Every structure is written in C-alpha cells, then in structure tokens.
Amino acid sequence: MAILVTGAAGFIGYHLSERLLARGEAVIGLDVVSDYYDVQLKEARLARLSGKPGFSFLRMDIADRAAMSGLAARHPEITRIVNLAAQPGVRYSLENPRAYVDTNVVGFLEILELARHLKRLDHLVYASSSSVYGGNTKLPFAIEDPVDAPLSLYAATKKADELMGHCYSHLYRLPATGLRFFTVYGPWGRPDMSAFIFTKAILAGEPIPVFNNGQMKRDFTYVDDIVSGVVACLDRPPADDGKTPPHRVYNIGNNNSEDLLRFIRVIEQACGREAKIQFKPMQAGDVPETFADIEATKRDFGFVPTTSIDEGIPRFVEWYRDYHKA
C-alpha cells in the first residue's frame, strides 16, 4: 500500500511527505516542478525527501491526460491520495487565469479519474482554500456558510474542485474530503506568501507592500499544525451509508484572526530589524479578513492547532536565514 502525494515538491506537500515517511508509510510523490516560483527551492525540498526510505517520485503534470491515464495500472499499490498539486495565489490569477483552470480544474479531474480507476481507494483528500468564502462578512467562516460568490478565479477553481469531488463521490462512491486551508506559513515556505516576502524585504532593508492600508487580518496557520490536520483527516475517511455521498469539507486553520501589522511586528522582532512599510489600496480579488471556524474539524479529527505566530515566525525566520545565508 502507498499514499500518492501530489505537489510533493511544494511547501505543504514536502512537509506532509516527511511526516508520512516518518511514521513508516510508503509515499509516491508527484510534481511537475513548475517555474511559478523558485525551482531551486522545490528541488531542494525534493532532495531532502529523495534519500528517505519509502519515498519514490514521479515528475509529471496532473493535467497531462496521457501520462495520468495509465497511472492506476502502473501503481495499483496506491490506496490513498492527497492532492495538493495546484496553481496557488489569488493575485497571480489576475495575470495568468488559464494556469488555474489547467491545473486546478483539468488536473483535478484527472486525479478524480485516477481515483475511480484504482483497484482500491480508501480515501482521497484534496486541498481547497479559504478563498472560497469570497466576500463573506460573517466571521468566523464556517463550512455551512454560502460560498457561491468567489472574488477571484483561484477561489472559483477551488469551489469547482469541491463540486467535482462531491459529484465523483456520488457517482462512484469515492470516499473524499476537501480541506479549506487558511494562510499557511513556516520553514520551506513559498516565496509568494507574506511571511517570505516580508522577511526577505526586512533583511534586505527594502520596503514591503501592505495592502488595504494595513487593514488586513489573516488566520495564519503554522505548517506543522496543517500537516497534523491533514494526517488526522487522511486516517479517517468518511463512511458510506449508501445514501449520501461519502464526501465532506472542513476548514483547517488556526482559529485565530491576526492583525497583519502585528504579524509584521513579530517578523521585525525575529529579524532584529524594522520594516519599511509601503501602504497600498486593496488589491482586486483580495479580502480584508479570514478567520476559520474549526469546530467540525476538532470534533471529527481531534484537530487542535498549537502554534502561535510568536512561536512559528521565529522558526520561519531562522530557516530563512539558514537557507539563504542571510
């Protein structure tokens, strides 16, 4: 038996693969290693995984229909899938919308097709996003809230994934769970995320852009907490009662909405330097606040995040300085 982790060269995929390998699982990593951000960082993550017992790697694109079509026959040992491969980022979706449809919609369809053709599939877990809540003003965001008014194409593709997951679960009785991730940060993080952008600029003495004139709040979630939630979910597939589809959706966040300016102050303290802030207006597609209601995730998986930004940010800055020799 093996677990397929797509997006294994990515931030969360790398950490998840490490955790699964540490508990003795066989992990098949899959990633196209796109150039959306620094390929060297992705290759460095892969290099750390490659030497570990139980890890194998497939360099391929989940949207490549020809490559994906034979995967079930070539790897019948796959019994669980965690699909983290995606084109991320709200702002980039304004520049390159086709990349989001290609990976997040067409690619996810190929994952669903793989899942239904495997001889045995115990559970498909896939990444959704807090972005699906769009302009909701009710806080915290709960899974029962309406999510039919996305503010970005990225959000729309993630909502499409949830609908497609539900459909395939209904048609083929696939046990599937979508996880709406809230802003994830930590060591080996993505260069397009705020913790990385701010740390890099502060250490270089460069200005940092802060949108909506600083009136922003985010449910920042440390990567180790996210991985703990994913693993707990993976181990508990939805039961099939023969009536409703064995499909569910959960929030996975820190359950704490932090003021962005406080987040920056914690980075300043960890860097030992002051930030040069450039206030800017709200950017199209963005939202002023995110805040995860995780009561269902606690109830069903025992998920309790334990890492505050006061603990997590210094760990990230320490990794950043070590990796970049800064």
Q: What would the pLDDT profile of 214-254 be if each residue is shown by its tens digit?
A: 889 999 999 999 999 999 999 999 999 999 999 999 999 99
Between CA 105 and CA 85 the distance in angstroms is: 11
The secondary structure element, H or E, covering residue 97 is helix 97-100
Residue 30 sits in a domain of what CATH number? 3.40.50.720
* Token pair recorded at residue 297: 């995730």
Between CA 142 and CA 292 the distance in angstroms is: 7
pLDDT of 326 over the 80 cut? no
Residue 162 is predicted with a pLDDT of 98
**21 domain residue, yes or no:** yes
Residue 34: pLDDT band with limits 50, 70, 90? very high
- DSSP-based helix, strand, coil % in the chain, nearest 5: 45, 20, 40
Q: 149: closest CA among 162, 136, 166?
A: 136
**174 domain residue, yes or no:** yes
Plot region of 100 (φ>0 → left; ψ -120 to 50 → alpha; else → beta): alpha
- % the chain with pLDDT above 90: 90
Averaged pLDDT, 285-291: 85
State the average pLDDT for the chain.
95
Residue 89: pLDDT band with limits 50, 70, 90? confident
Averaged pLDDT, 96-103: 96
Between CA 246 and CA 326 the distance in angstroms is: 48
Averaged pLDDT, 21-40: 97
Residue 309: pLDDT band with limits 50, 70, 90? very high
- Dihedral sign for Cα 102, 29, 11, 246, please: positive
**123 domain residue, yes or no:** yes
Return the CA Rg of the chain: 19
Q: Which residue has the higher pLDDT, 280 or 4?
A: 4
**206 domain residue, yes or no:** no
Residue 282: pLDDT band with limits 50, 70, 90? confident
Q: 17: closest CA among 56, 44, 61, 72?
A: 56
Residue 94: pLDDT band with limits 50, 70, 90? confident
Between CA 303 and CA 254 the distance in angstroms is: 10
Residue 33 is predicted with a pLDDT of 97
Query: Tell me: the pLDDT tens digits for 248-274?
Result: 999 999 999 999 999 999 999 999 999
**280 domain residue, yes or no:** no
Which amino acid type is present at position 91? R
154 belongs to the catalytic site: yes
Look up residue 292 and give its DSSP letter. B
Query: Tell me: the pLDDT tens digits for 194-207?
Result: 999 999 999 999 99
DSSP assignment string, 12-50: HHHHHHHHHHHTT--EEEEE---SSS-HHHHHHHHHHHH
Q: Of 1-5, 145-149, 162-166, 285-289, which gets the smallest average pLDDT?
A: 285-289
Q: 228: closest CA among 15, 2, 45?
A: 15
Residue 76: pLDDT band with limits 50, 70, 90? very high
**191 domain residue, yes or no:** no
Considering its fold, how many domains does the chain have in total?
A: 1
Q: Which residue has the tokens 């019994």?
A: 79
Candidate list 126, 154, 168, 320, residue with the active-site label: 154
By DSSP bridging, strand 258-259 and strand 217-218 are: antiparallel
Averaged pLDDT, 61-88: 96
Listed in sequence order, the residues at least 6 apart from 47 whose beta carbon sits closer than 8 Å to its beta carbon are none
Plot region of 23 (φ>0 → left; ψ -120 to 50 → alpha; else → beta): alpha
The secondary structure element, H or E, covering residue 179 is strand 176-181
Averaged pLDDT, 297-313: 97
pLDDT of 112 over the 90 cut? yes
Plot region of 113 (φ>0 → left; ψ -120 to 50 → alpha; else → beta): alpha
Q: Which residue has the tokens 């802030």?
A: 277
Range of the domain at 68: 2-182+223-253+291-306
Residue 160 is predicted with a pLDDT of 98
**311 domain residue, yes or no:** no
**246 domain residue, yes or no:** yes
Between CA 107 and CA 178 the distance in angstroms is: 15
